[in-house]
Amino acid sequence: MAKKLDLERILSKQGFGTRKQCRIMIINEEITVNDELCDDPDAQFDLENLSFTVKGEAWDYREKSYLMLHKPSNYECSHKTQHHPTIYSLLPHPLVVRDVQCIGRLDEDTTGLILISDDGQFIHRMSSPKHKVPKIYEVTCKHAVSDEQITHILKGVQLIDEDAPIAALACERITENVIHMTLAEGKYHQVKRMVAAISNRVEALKRIQIGELKLPDDLKVGEWKWLSETDMLLLSTK
> Does one domain contain both 37 and 87?
no
> Does one domain contain both 19 and 118?
no
Q: What is the pLDDT of residue 2?
A: 60
> Does one domain contain both 53 and 101?
no
> Does one domain contain both 28 and 49?
yes
Active site residues: 107
> Could you tell me whether strands 202-210 and 111-117 are parallel, antiparallel, or unpaired per DSSP bridges?
parallel
Q: What is the pLDDT of residue 237?
A: 63
Question: pLDDT tens digits for the chain (238 residues)?
Answer: 567 899 999 999 999 999 999 999 999 999 999 999 999 999 999 999 999 999 999 999 999 999 999 999 999 998 887 788 999 999 999 999 998 999 988 999 999 999 999 999 999 999 887 888 999 999 999 999 999 999 999 999 888 888 889 999 999 999 999 999 999 887 778 899 999 999 999 999 999 999 999 999 999 999 999 999 999 999 986 5
Q: What is the pLDDT of residue 129?
A: 79
Residues 6+ apart with CB under 8 A from 90: 69, 72, 75, 222, 223, 224
Is residue 118 within 8 Å of residue 101, measured between CB atoms? yes
CATH number for the domain spanning 186: value is 3.30.70.1560
> Does one domain contain both 40 and 141?
no
Residues 6+ apart with CB under 8 A from 85: 74, 75, 76
> Does one domain contain both 188 and 225?
no
Structural domain boundaries, residue 79: 66-129+213-236
Instruction: Provide the Cα torsion 22, 26, 29, 35; round to 10°.
Output: 100
Question: How many domains is the chain partitioned into structurally?
Answer: 3
Stated as kind and residue range, the H or E segment containing 120 is helix 120-127
> Does one domain contain both 28 and 123?
no
CATH number for the domain spanning 106: value is 3.30.70.580
